[in-house]
Structure 1
C-alpha cells in the first residue's frame, strides 16, 4: 500500500479559527463517524481523542506532518483529531494550548516542542490528568513525555548535511548555518553534531563555520538573515539551513542575487518548495524524510499508549498501520526512517 505524500488543501484540515490570548488556534474536523466537527475530548461514549500541537501553524512542513497525523489518527481508531497551536514559534507559546487540552480531557497530546523546558510543567499536569504525551519532530525533556517520534537518528541528519555542503564547496571555505529558533531541540542537536563532525573529521579540516543565525522559522526573518550573512561574510562559500522555512527563504534570496551559483546552499527542505530552485541551479542537493510519516507514526504510538499496549519503555513494539512495526528504543525514542537526498535527477518523483 503506497503512503500518500500529497499535501491536502489547508482548507480541508482547518475547521475553526479561535483567538486565544492573542494567539490563533485551528482545529481539524473529526476524523471518524459522521465527519462533523468535534472539540478536544468531546467524543460519544468517551472514545479516544488526540490533539496535535505543532511548533507553529501555517508552516508548509507542519502542514504535511499534520496531514499524515490526521490520516494515522483515523486509521488508528481515534474518534476525533484536532490541531491547535501558535502562529509564532516562541518558547512558551504552546503552554496555553496544552492547558486547554488538559481541561478538555484529551486522551493523547502530540507535541513538537519549541522549547524542551518551557512546556514541561504544563505537560506534567496533562499527564497527571490522564493524558498520554507523544513528542514528535522536536523533543521535550524525556521525563515530560511518554515517547518521542524522531524522523531519523539525529547524528545521521547532521552528517548528511555536512557531507552535502562539503561536496558542494569543494571541501574548503567558510560556511554558515541558518537555523530555526535558538531553543529548538532538534535543530540544536543537529548543529551540535555538525560542529563535532567539522572539528573531528580530517576531510573537513579546511571548512570553517563562521556564523550561526536564527530565522525563527519565519520566512521574512530567514530571508533577512540570509542577506545579513552575505553582508557580514563576503567570503562565504556555503550555507546549511536545517529548516524547511529557512532553506526555502535562503534559496529565494540567492536565486535573484549576485551570489547565485557562487554560494552553495543545502539543508532540509520540501521537494515541492525547493523544486524551482533546483531547476534553476540555485540549489544542487538537499535532504529530508517524508514528513507525513512522522505524524502518521505519532498517531499510532499515541493510540498504543492510550490502549495500554506500550508504556514507552525500551523494547516495546507497536504497529504503525501501513508503515509496519516500530520499536521503542532507549529513552522512549521511536525512529521513523532514513533521510532522502533530493537533486535534479529525482526531485520530480516526489510530491510533498
Structure 2
C-alpha cells in the first residue's frame, strides 16, 4: 500500500481523487475480504493507509524489476500469460523475472518466493495466488519494504495487495459457463464441475456464481452433483473425469474452469464411449481445444487472452511503482496498446469480457 500521507494538503488532494466516479465491476474481486481503503484514508491490512496522492503525469521510472510469481511454472497457461508480461515489462525498459513452484498447490513454496523477492528488493511482484490468505503475511511484509504487489488471475484477500488484475468479471465468468453448458445439454440433467485446487481463489469465486446461476428457475431441471478437484494436474484431472463418469453414469455435462482441467477432461471424453454424449465446457485455450472442437468432443468454451492478462499485470505494476496510481478506485492509467484502464471497487482492474470459442471462430485465434 502507499505510505501514510504526511500533510493536510496531500489529504485534500487525495480526497479529490476519491470523488472520481468508480467503474462498476460487478463482483470481480476474489478473496475472502474486501479492501475498504480509498484515497480518503481508511487503513489497509498492513497498517498503512491509502492516503498518498497519485501523479498520473509522473514519468515512468526506469530500471525497475518486476517479478512474476505464477501459481505454477511450466503450466502452459502461465507460460503464455507471463511471456505477455515479459514483453510488456521489457517494452517499458524494465527488468522482468519469473520465479515459482512446479506444483499448483505448494503455498509454502509461494510464501518462500515472496520472502526471497522481498530480500532481493524487487520493485513489484505480480502474483497469482494459490490460496487467498496463505501469502498475506509475506506480501504485507513486502509492501512494508516498499514492494508493490499486484495479483493477477487469482487474488489474495484484498488487504494483502495493492491491485488485482482480473481476467474478466468473476460474475460474468461463472454465469456464462453455466449458460453455455445448459444450452448444450438442453436445459436438463446431472452436471459436475472439475476445478483446480480446492483453495484456488479464482476457481471458488467462479464456482460460487455458477451455483447462484443454477438457482434460477430456468435451471430447475439441472442438478449439480459434485465439484471435483484435479489440482491443475493433467493426470489427476484425467482421473477425476473418469471417476465422475463412473460415479454418475447419467452425467450430462461437465464445467471445468481451468485450462489444464478442461484439456484433460476432453482427452478422456474423446477416447471414451461418452464422446458427444457428455458435454464439456469451461475455460480453455484455443490451441489446447482446437482438436476437440474439430472431433465433436466439445461444442464451445471460453477464455480471455492470457498474454494480454500478463501484459496488463506488468503495466499495472510499473504504473504503481512509478507513482502514477496508488490503487484507489477511480484512478486511470494507460497500459500500452491495451488502452486505458480504470481502477474499480476493492482495487480491481478488469481486462475485459470473456470470449466464447466455437467452430465458427476458433480459426481466428492462435494461443
Normalized against structure 2, the TM-score is what? 0.82
On the 8 A contact 1:92/1:115 being kept in 2, the answer is no
Higher relative contact order (CA closer than 8 Å, sequence separation 6+): 2
Structure 1 residue 105 corresponds to structure 2 residue 110: no
For residues 108 and 120 of structure 2, the distance between their equivalents in structure 1, rounded to whole angstroms, comes to: 20
| 1:120-199 to 2 correspondences below 5 Å | 120-199=136-215
1:279 aligned partner: 294
1:256 aligned partner: 271
On the 8 A contact 1:76/1:299 being kept in 2, the answer is no
For residues 340 and 300 of structure 1, the distance between their equivalents in structure 2, rounded to whole angstroms, comes to: 22
Provide closer, same or farther for how the CA distance between residues 301 and 46 of structure 1 changes in structure 2, counting only shifts above 3 A: closer
Structure 1 residue 213 corresponds to structure 2 residue 228: yes
Provide closer, same or farther for how the CA distance between residues 64 and 323 of structure 1 changes in structure 2, counting only shifts above 3 A: same
Which residue, out of 42, 49, 56, partners 2:72?
56
1:3 aligned partner: none
| 1:308-319 to 2 correspondences below 5 Å | 308-319=323-334
Which residue, out of 315, 333, 339, partners 2:348?
333
Partner-residue secondary structure (3-state), 2:341: strand
Deviations 1:293-321 (A, max 9, x none): 11111111111110111000001111000
1:66 aligned partner: 82
Aligned residue-pair number: 306
Report the CA distance between 1:93 and its aligned residue: 2.5
Tell me which moved more, 240-249 or 297-306. 297-306
Report the CA distance between 1:46 and its aligned residue: 8.4
Deviations 1:100-144 (A, max 9, x none): 100100000000000011111111111111100000000011111
For residues 254 and 174 of structure 1, the distance between their equivalents in structure 2, rounded to whole angstroms, comes to: 16
For residues 208 and 109 of structure 2, the distance between their equivalents in structure 1, rounded to whole angstroms, comes to: 25
Normalized against structure 1, the TM-score is what? 0.86
Unmatched segments (≥5 aa) in structure 1:
1-44
Deviations 1:232-283 (A, max 9, x none): 0011000000000000000000000000011000000000010000000000
Unmatched segments (≥5 aa) in structure 2:
1-60
On the 8 A contact 1:179/1:187 being kept in 2, the answer is yes
Say what the alpha-carbon RMSD is for the aligned residues. Answer: 1.0
Partner-residue secondary structure (3-state), 1:208: strand
On the 8 A contact 1:239/1:265 being kept in 2, the answer is yes
For residues 198 and 251 of structure 2, the distance between their equivalents in structure 1, rounded to whole angstroms, comes to: 22
For residues 320 and 182 of structure 2, the distance between their equivalents in structure 1, rounded to whole angstroms, comes to: 42
Which residue, out of 100, 104, 109, partners 1:89?
104
For residues 181 and 62 of structure 2, the distance between their equivalents in structure 1, rounded to whole angstroms, comes to: 51
Provide closer, same or farther for how the CA distance between residues 234 and 144 of structure 1 changes in structure 2, counting only shifts above 3 A: same
